[in-house]
Amino acid sequence: MSLDAPRLSVADLRDVPGRRPVVSSETVFEGRVWDVVADEVDLGSGDPVRREYVRHTGAVVVLAVREDRGEPEVLVIRQYRHPIGAEDWELPAGLLDIEGEPAVETAARELAEEADLRAAEWAELVTFTPSPGGLDEVITVFVATGLSDVPEEERHERTDEEAGMPTGWVPLSDAVAAVLGGQVRNGPLMIGVLALARTRA
């Protein structure tokens, strides 16, 4: 932990998978969507340590991209999020809560349900863990292109917090500026937009 630490290359900067032995595990809170779990973990350096975290289903995020008006534009949705007390701009997203459903199919379903859009082409952009110290969620961001509207008669009826969500198309360069300027703080949006801009650079 000092200036004497070794200099690493891109090849060195790779996560090391492998779960440490779990001595015991209990569900300390059972929620409607997620549970809180407490594990006693053997880290190999003495007594087991207690780690409490949210057990999460995982999620997908969709960067819907259109380029028919010149510069690439991405679709954003504004949704009220009670834990942070704000309506934040987000990307269409959803939980991996249907057993056996491939992640790209979940992404396609969420894009149709939240934005009334279909995509002809799908590509995985990036996968990340948003808060590895407190939950085991893994989020995969997909880029959706070749967009078309879902026919009116086939559209999903949105309810609760999804009803009446404002949506809009923002040029990719403006989205990057909003991220870097601190105007938006939604993690998946920030990571998705910056990753897409980097791949398009």
Same domain? For 45 and 144 the reply is no
Q: Tell me: the pLDDT tens digits for 138-159? A: 999 999 999 999 987 777 676 6
Same domain, 48 and 124: no
pLDDT digits (tens, 9 = 90+) for 23-69: 999 999 999 888 999 999 999 888 899 999 999 999 999 999 999 99
Yes or no: say if 37 and 52 are a contact pair by the CB < 8 Å rule: yes
Query: Total domain count for the chain?
Result: 2
Q: Domain with 98 in it: what CATH number?
A: 3.90.79.10
- If asked whether residues 82 and 133 sit together in one domain, one would say yes
CB-based contacts of 197: which residues, under 8 Å, 6+ apart?
172, 173, 175, 176
The range of the structural domain enclosing residue 94 comes to: 59-200
- Which residues belong to the active site? 162
Q: What is the pTM of this model?
A: 0.90
